Structure 1
Amino acid sequence: MKTLTKELQQAISPAQALELLIEGNKRFVNNLKVNRNLLQQANETSDGQHPFAVILSCIDSRTSAELIFDQGLGDVFSVRIAGNILNEDILGSMEFGCKVAGSKIIVVLGHTKCGAVKGACDHVEMGNLTSLLTKIRPAVDDETTVISQRNSSNAEFVEKVSAINVKRTVKAIMERSPILKEMIEAGQIGIVGGTHDITTGVVEFYKDTQIFN
């Protein structure tokens, strides 16, 4: 697998970037990972990096973007925070990744059985975690199909809230970053949300969050 150069990166369209991630996830699920010389990639990217994707995911130890999408050094910008939430620093990181470094797609990736989502469902308050979980609470409130047992003991409720949280984040990126919105509308980059099943390894992308012009 070739190390990404600026020329290779620029030749990738947003749709092709998504396909690269889909294909990589299939390899991961089938345990057919590409043989890479990571030390060589480290050397080849030492003077510059040209990742094709910016992936916002949870800090969960089972949801490493490089692993579940079978990518190497220099392939993706990985932004990780509990509950894959959004803040100004993360938006700034995305703007750098796309506007400055040339990435072609933004992925907001949730995962099943997310502890942060469960904490928000249970109204957990603990130190600085309280502020973080507050950012997920709107997704809890937006989930209106589950009437009873609206807490972490209800697996269906947790997963529905998790999906809403991802979709809200995709929307918020468009609303809060004029730079990224302009790039998306111009077809320079794409954006999509999805969920990683920590049991099967499969990533499901949400069609209703996919924006490619």
Structure 2
Amino acid sequence: MEANKNGLNTEKENTDHVVKTVISAEERAKLTPDQILQEFLDGNERFRNNNLTQRDHSELIRKSAFGQYPKAVVLSCLDSRVPVEDVFDQGIGDIFVGRVAGNFVNEDLLGSLEFACKVAGAKLIIIMGHQHCGAIIGAIDNVKLGNLTTTLSKIKPAIKMSQNYSGNMTSKNEEFVKLVSENNVRHAISTIRSKSPILKEMEENREIKIVGLFYTLTKGELLFVD
């Protein structure tokens, strides 16, 4: 082990702040949905500043093996440029992640969200669209390709919601693509509330919070979708 110029052990210095524990049921119980959301937003700021929390993943794997108490569930797009855990600076055991091209909600994902919240105790649902989404672009362009045709049809309601846009309504217009992506998030949240009485009741009782976010690939920042 080496000592730095101040005589301190550098290996110890570098591991002092490494996270080695997973969240417990007791720790999660003390958190409100708003506190969890703020924690995730703070984590995104660390992500954007290249200051991610150091974690001992090998230790976290072992400690999370026999139980999990995630704080939130995030429904994200399939896109490889959106590393969900890193975007929010969360570790093993902190977050459920559902991914599908176009981050829409169907029966399977509704069931997954209900499991995450009602059964497993997550307190926050985040529906996260993103900039330059290929699924959104494909839906706008009316792409037809095998099973992808059915997948993209789930995004069509968001295109319909965007018809009052006064500009060029094509996939070449980044502003229009962003609007459709945001409306796709809104539609997903609306679907949750209309098709899952379980989650709707939990939200009304303030047991959970449902939030829409838009992730920018160019800056790594998160914008609220009202």
Match of 1:58 in 2: 77
C-alpha offsets along residues 42-68 of structure 1, whole Å, 9 cap, x if unaligned? Answer: 111110011000000000001121011
Q: How does 1:57-136 map to 2 (within 5 A)?
A: 57-136=76-155
Aligned-residue offset at 1:12? 1.1
Equivalenced residue count is 207
- Post-superposition, which runs of at least 4 consecutive aligned residues in structure 1 deviate over 2 A? 144-149
Match of 2:178 in 1: 159
Aligned-residue offset at 1:183? 0.6
Alignment TM-score, normalising by the size of structure 1: 0.94
- RMSD of aligned residue pairs (Cα, Å): 1.0
SS of the residue aligned with 2:214? Answer: strand
Please list every run of 5 or more consecutive structure 2 residues that lacks an aligned counterpart in the other structure: 1-18
SS of the residue aligned with 1:204? Answer: strand
Aligned-residue offset at 1:145? 3.5
1:169 aligns with 2:206: no
Match of 1:4 in 2: 23
Point out the structure with max Rg over C-alpha.
2
Please list every run of 5 or more consecutive structure 1 residues that lacks an aligned counterpart in the other structure: 209-213
CA distance in 2, matches of 1:188, 1:205: 21
Alignment TM-score, normalising by the size of structure 2: 0.89
Match of 2:37 in 1: 18
CA distance in 1, matches of 2:163, 2:111: 32
SS of the residue aligned with 1:78? Answer: strand
Match of 1:140 in 2: 159
Match of 2:55 in 1: 36
Aligned-residue offset at 1:141? 1.3
C-alpha offsets along residues 170-204 of structure 1, whole Å, 9 cap, x if unaligned? Answer: 11101110110111111111100011101100011
